[in-house]
Structure 1
Amino acid sequence: THAELYALDAEIQAIVHVHSAQLWTALQHELPSTATDVAYGTPAMAREFLRLYHETDFPERRIAVMRGHRDGLIAIGESIAEAALRILAYRDGCRPPLTAHQPDSRP
């Protein structure tokens, strides 16, 4: 999954994967989310993130819930600090603004 995300966009330089029952429960219907029947660490999960990237606002929100990976969330950023701060902002009750995303021109 991580390799697929890095390959999608040159701006993705860091991925933070956390577990939080509170965030997972609260945000799974608000944020882009993978299907519940897709397990983490599988090719199907990698395909789910490709789907989220192309069919949802995941590139702008830069955070997603893994519904098939209990309590799991992933945030992306240009740095570890950026990705981690996105998760912390949600934890602290803030809703960070959407990121101005410029898709990579690679096929």
Structure 2
Amino acid sequence: MDDNKETEGVIKYKLDFEQAPLPHPALALQLEAWRQRLCALGLIGGNDPARYDGLGFGNLSHRLETGSTNFIISGTQTGHLDKMEPEDYALVTLCDPASNTIRAQGKTAPSSEAMTHAAIYSAAPTAQAVIHVHSPEIWQQAESLGLATTNSNIAYGTTEMAEEFARLISSGFLDSNVISMGGHEDGIVSWGETLDEAGELMLQLASQAGLAERAK
């Protein structure tokens, strides 16, 4: 990988993590069903030397309930797994951008993008699910697809990225619940009032960008 590029999947926040069984395992299974569909398109994955030095990429989350700040999110560096179980997901119970701290529990630490997911839930009260994928096809066509894009100088997994998402969502000028991450190569994020809504948005973009489901 180019020395000037960031290493994919590195956790940049302070993590206060409790090893414990994951609450609400049924919610993790709902996320897993959508994760499988996204993996089939190559939007979530890992163990591919040609992509990000073989590191895992992509994550998704679901708020526990409307108004809650807690959410279930896929674990860090799990993209390569063919099938994830509830123990491969984590519950985020606190996000404090001021101290760059995430508190979570489960058997696997939360995704490096947990701070961004938390920012979306905070800025978009009706959002119940967030999906973050990696797609060079969508990312390179972000402008022609009409996607809002974060500042290219802002790195993934940082409080600055969380603030940028909050700024864009709060602006009221978004044409859709999708944002391209200008400073995070291939990063695309969607969210919706339901998991299906967030997922269908991503599938629609994939189709517009010319992606077809890949053979497993």
TM-score (normalizing by structure 2): 0.41
**Alpha-carbon separation, structure 1, partners of 2:143 and 2:158:** 20
User: Per the alignment, in what secondary structure is the counterpart of residue 74 of structure 1?
Assistant: strand
1:90 CA drift (Å): 1.4
1:54 CA drift (Å): 2.2
Residue 28 of structure 1 contacts residue 65 of structure 1 at CA under 8 Å; is this kept in 2? no
**Alpha-carbon separation, structure 1, partners of 2:172 and 2:178:** 11
**Alpha-carbon separation, structure 2, partners of 1:46 and 1:74:** 12
Residue 17 of structure 1 contacts residue 75 of structure 1 at CA under 8 Å; is this kept in 2? yes
**Alpha-carbon separation, structure 2, partners of 1:28 and 1:56:** 18
After superposition, the Cα gap between the structure-2 partners of 1:28 and 1:71, relative to the gap in structure 1 and judged at 3 Å, is farther
Name the structure, 1 or 2, with higher relative contact order (CA <8 Å, separation 6+).
1
- Structure of higher CA gyration radius: 2
Query: Is the strand fraction higher in 1 or 2?
Result: 2
Query: Is the helix fraction higher in 1 or 2?
Result: 1
Q: Are 1:17 and 2:132 an aligned pair? A: yes
Alignment partner of 2:180 out of 58, 65, 71: 65
Letter in 2 for 1:48: E
Matches within 5 A, 1:35-46: 35-46=151-162
Letter in 2 for 1:81: D
**Alpha-carbon separation, structure 1, partners of 2:143 and 2:151:** 10
After superposition, the Cα gap between the structure-2 partners of 1:91 and 1:62, relative to the gap in structure 1 and judged at 3 Å, is same
Q: Counterpart of 1:48?
A: 164
How many pairs are equivalent? Answer: 93
Residue 38 of structure 1 contacts residue 45 of structure 1 at CA under 8 Å; is this kept in 2? yes
Alignment partner of 1:4 out of 111, 119, 128: 119
1:9 CA drift (Å): 2.5
RMSD of Structure 2 on Structure 1 (CA)? 1.7
Unpaired runs of at least 5, structure 2: 1-115, 210-216
After superposition, the Cα gap between the structure-2 partners of 1:84 and 1:63, relative to the gap in structure 1 and judged at 3 Å, is same
Structure 1 vs Structure 2: percent identity of aligned residues? 35
When structure 1 is superposed on structure 2, of 32-41 and 21-30 the one drifting more is 21-30
After superposition, what is the alpha-carbon deviation per residue over 1:21-47, rounded to whole angstroms, capped at 9, x for unaligned?
A: 000000146211100010010010011
After superposition, the Cα gap between the structure-2 partners of 1:8 and 1:54, relative to the gap in structure 1 and judged at 3 Å, is closer
User: Per the alignment, in what secondary structure is the counterpart of residue 27 of structure 1?
Assistant: coil
Q: Are 1:93 and 2:211 an aligned pair? A: no
TM-score (normalizing by structure 1): 0.79
User: Per the alignment, in what secondary structure is the counterpart of residue 92 of structure 1?
Assistant: helix
User: Per the alignment, in what secondary structure is the counterpart of residue 163 of structure 2?
Assistant: helix
